[in-house]
C-alpha cells in the first residue's frame, strides 16, 4: 500500500522516527498526457503532461511540504503550527495539524482568499485570523510570532516544506524515465519552483536521470515582482494563490531559472482564465486559476515561437491546486445557463 511521500522517498527525506510521520498519504498524484489541448493551441511537436496536484488530500501541492514540516515539528515536540496563507497553505496546515493532534493558527488576508479554502481551514479546526492587509503583511506577522511564541512556522521559509515539495520532481522523472525538457509552473512565494529544481538536481546527482529541465515559471501580471525585479506593494490578481508582491524564495527562484537556462515570465488574468477554461473544456481537468498560469504560460510561449520546433519535446505543467476550491471565478464569468420549463417538447428542441 502507498503510504505517503516520506515513506516512498525516505532515501531523500531524512526522518528519525518512522512512527512519528504525519501523513495523509499525499503525493503519487495523477500525471497525464493531454490529448486535445496541444492541438488546440497549435503545438504539434510536444508531449504536454500535466501533474494534477489538485488531487492531493487537501487539494493542492502544499500537502507535499506540509507532511514534512508537520512531521519535523512533531519530532521536535512542538504542540502548535502557524502560517500566513493565501488559502492553500492554511488548508493544508490545518489538516496535518489535526491528524498530528496539534493546534494550527492561520493568518489570512481579509476577503482575499477563495471560499473553499477558508471552509477547509475552518472545518479542519484551525484558529483562523483574518488580517486587514495582504499576504506579505500576514507573513511578516507570523515570522515574528514564531520567534516569540511556542509555535512552529510552516510557511515555505520552513526548509522542510521545500524538502517535501521536491518529491513532485521525483514523481515526474519516475513516470517519464527522464526529466522533461520544460517544467512549467506558477510562481507566487516562489517556494515550489525552488523545490522542484532541488528535486531535479538531486535525481540528476544520484544518476536517476541524465538530463535536467528548463525551469519555466509564470507570475500574474499584477503580481510579477520577479519578472519586473521590483517589490509589488499592492499585488492584484484573480489568481489569489499567487497574489504575492515580495516572494520569500525570490533568490532561490532566480537561481533555479538561471542555472537551468529557464525563464520566469508573466501572464494576464484574462490569459489565466482562458487557459483554465480551455484545459477543462479540451481535456476534462478543472484546476484553480493560479494553477492555470502554467497553461497560460505554455500558450504564450507557443504564440511567441519560443519553444524548439526542430525536435519532439516533453513539457510538464504543474497544476498546483483544485478548481473546486475557487468556483466563484467560473460561475461569475459564465452565467449564460439556458433556462427551460420541465417540458419534453421544449427540451427536445435542444438536440436539433
Ligand X SMILES: *Cc1c(COP(=O)(O)O)cnc(C)c1O
Cα 34–183–167 angle (5° rounding)?
100
Shortest separation between residue 345's beta carbon and ligand X, angstroms: 45
Name which of residues 91 to 150 contact ligand X (CB under 6 A). Answer: none
256 binds ligand X per the rule CB under 6 A: no
The CA distances from residue 39 to 47, 276, 301, in Å, are 10, 16, 15
- Closer of 253 and 299 to ligand X (Cβ): 253
- Using the rule CB under 6 A, give the single segment among 23-31, 33-41, 189-197, 275-283 that binds ligand X: 189-197
73 binds ligand X per the rule CB under 6 A: no
262 binds ligand X per the rule CB under 6 A: no
- Using the rule CB under 6 A, give the single segment among 226-234, 254-262, 283-291, 332-340 that binds ligand X: 283-291
Shortest separation between residue 340's beta carbon and ligand X, angstroms: 36
- Closer of 30 and 347 to ligand X (Cβ): 30
Torsion over CA of 237, 240, 242 and 245, rounded to 10 degrees? 60
CB 32 within 8 A of CB 49: yes
Shortest separation between residue 58's beta carbon and ligand X, angstroms: 10
Q: Round to whole Å and give the CA distance between 136 and 139.
A: 5
- Closer of 60 and 152 to ligand X (Cβ): 60
- Using the rule CB under 6 A, give the single segment among 147-155, 180-188, 299-307, 327-335 that binds ligand X: 180-188
Q: At what angle do helices 88-100 and 62-75 cross, to 10 degrees?
A: 40
Shortest separation between residue 253's beta carbon and ligand X, angstroms: 8
Q: Which of 41, 114, 151, 190 binds ligand X (CB under 6 A)?
A: 190
CB 283 within 8 A of CB 234: no
288 binds ligand X per the rule CB under 6 A: yes
- Closer of 133 and 178 to ligand X (Cβ): 133
Q: What is the DSSP string of 273-305?
A: HHHHHHHHHHH---B-GGGGHHHHHHHHHHHTT
246 binds ligand X per the rule CB under 6 A: no
Residue nearest to ligand X (CB): 321
222 binds ligand X per the rule CB under 6 A: no
Work out whether strand 46-52 and strand 31-33 pair parallel, antiparallel, or are unpaired: antiparallel
The upper half-sphere exposure of residue 313, i.e. CA atoms within 13 Å in the direction of its Cβ, equals 19
- Closer of 189 and 263 to ligand X (Cβ): 189
- Closer of 173 and 190 to ligand X (Cβ): 190
62 binds ligand X per the rule CB under 6 A: yes
Q: Round to whole Å and give the CA distance between 82 and 80.
A: 7
Build a one-symbol-per-residue string for 304-333: x at contacts with ligand X by CB under 6 A, - elsewhere: ----------------xx------------
CB 190 within 8 A of CB 246: no
Residue with cell 516512498: 8
300 binds ligand X per the rule CB under 6 A: no
The helix or strand, by DSSP H or E, that contains position 194, with its residue range, turns out to be: helix 191-205
Shortest separation between residue 194's beta carbon and ligand X, angstroms: 8
Residue 303: Cβ-neighbour burial (10 angstroms; 0-12, 13-18, 19+): exposed
Residue with cell 540528476: 204
- Residues that bind ligand X in the complex, under the rule CB under 6 A: 60, 62, 88, 156, 186-192, 241-242, 288, 290-291, 320-321
Amino acid at each position: 500500500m502507498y503510504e505517503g511521500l516520506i515513506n516512498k522517498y525516505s532515501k531523500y527525506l531524512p526522518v528519525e522516527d518512522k512512527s512519528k510521520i504525519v501523513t495523509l498519504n499525499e503525493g503519487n498524484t495523477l500525471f497525464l498526457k493531454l490529448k486535445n489541448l496541444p492541438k488546440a493551441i497549435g503545438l504539434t511537436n510536444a508531449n504536454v503532461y500535466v501533474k494534477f496536484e489538485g488531487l492531493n488530500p487537501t487539494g493542492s501541492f502544499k500537502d507535499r511540504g506540509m507532511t514534512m514540516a508537520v512531521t519535523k515539528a512533531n519530532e521536535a515536540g512542538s504542540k502548535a503550527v502557524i502560517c500566513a496563507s493565501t488559502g492553500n497553505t492554511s488548508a493544508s496546515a490545518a489538516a496535518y495539524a489535526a491528524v498530528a493532534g496539534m493546534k494550527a493558527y492561520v493568518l489570512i488576508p481579509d476577503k482575499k482568499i477563495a471560499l473553499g479554502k477558508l471552509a477547509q481551514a475552518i472545518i479542519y479546526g484551525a484558529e483562523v485570523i483574518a488580517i486587514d492587509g495582504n499576504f506579505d503583511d500576514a507573513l511578516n506577522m507570523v515570522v515574528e510570532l514564531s520567534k516569540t511564541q511556542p509555535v512552529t512556522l510552516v510557511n515555505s521559509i520552513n526548509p522542510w516544506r521545500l524538502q517535501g515539495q521536491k518529491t513532485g520532481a521525483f514523481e515526474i522523472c519516475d513516470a517519464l524515465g527522464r526529466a522533461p525538457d520544460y517544467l512549467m509552473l506558477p510562481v507566487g512565494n516562489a517556494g515550489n519552483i525552488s523545490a522542484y529544481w532541488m528535486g531535479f538536481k538531486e535525481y540528476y546527482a544520484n544518476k536517476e536521470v541524465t538530463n535536467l529541465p528548463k525551469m519555466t515559471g509564470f507570475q500574474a501580471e499584477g503580481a510579477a515582482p520577479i519578472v519586473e525585479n521590483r517589490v509589488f506593494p499592492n499585488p492584484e490578481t484573480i489568481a489569489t494563490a499567487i497574489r504575492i508582491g515580495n516572494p520569500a524564495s525570490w533568490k532561490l527562484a532566480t537561481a533555479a531559472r538561471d542555472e537551468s537556462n529557464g525563464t520566469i515570465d508573466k501572464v494576464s488574468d484574462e490569459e489565466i482564465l482562458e487557459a483554465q477554461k480551455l484545459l477543462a473544456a479540451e481535456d476534462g481537468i478543472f484546476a484553480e486559476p493560479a494553477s492555470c498560469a502554467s497553461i497560460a504560460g505554455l500558450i504564450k510561449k507557443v504564440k511567441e515561437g519560443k519553444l524548439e520546433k526542430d525536435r519532439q519535446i516533453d513539457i510538464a505543467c504543474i497544476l498546483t491546486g483544485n478548481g473546486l476550491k475557487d468556483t466563484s471565478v467560473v460561475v461569475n464569468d459564465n452565467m449564460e445557463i439556458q433556462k427551460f420549463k420541465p417540458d419534453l417538447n421544449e427540451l427536445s428542441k435542444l438536440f436539433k
